[in-house]
Amino acid sequence: MDSDIDFMRYALGEAQQALEEGEVPVGAVLVVGGEVVASVHNARESTFDPTAHAEVLALRKAAQALRSWRLNNATLYVTKEPCPMCAGAMVNARLGRLVYGCGDPKGGAVESLYRILSDPRLNHQVEVISGVLGEESAALLKSFFRDRRGGAAFPRKL
């Protein structure tokens, strides 16, 4: 494995595992020097931890494995555009590069709603590549949410 597509396929495998466990299907793989340091998926439901997003779990696992919170030589592959919490964690970890699959128009903090990773007011910016296997990533999420609501749309709250 040595390409963005290969590592994103690995992340999609993690997302599939999340789906099988009843979690929102988001997977993440953190790579340094072509080697996988961490591979995880969302675990909020199973851990009862609101911060157990795949991205945060990958950053934590990699920092422990590398014995450093500074991940400036790392690339994080994640199947969905990160939320504000996860994007903030990437800035704090000094992540070198993010590659993600599909955008998140309702919660994305990289390109959709906010641009946290490229904000010049912050002390670190992260290189971003988007849309890698985006259709596959989006299809997995759509399948999950369609199944959760029995094929019907969620009722709108007023």
Give binding residues as ranges: 53, 83, 86
- Does an H or E element contain 28, and which? strand 27-32
Q: 117 with 128: CB under 8 angstroms? A: yes
Annotated binding site for Zn(2+): 53, 83, 86
Catalytic residue among 14, 23, 55, 81: 55
Cα atoms in the Cβ-side hemisphere of radius 13 Å centred on 77:
28
**Owner of token pair 């369609």:** 146
DSSP-derived secondary structure letter, 46:
H
Six token digits for residue 10 = 């690995």
Active site residue 55: yes
| Catalytic (active-site) positions | 55
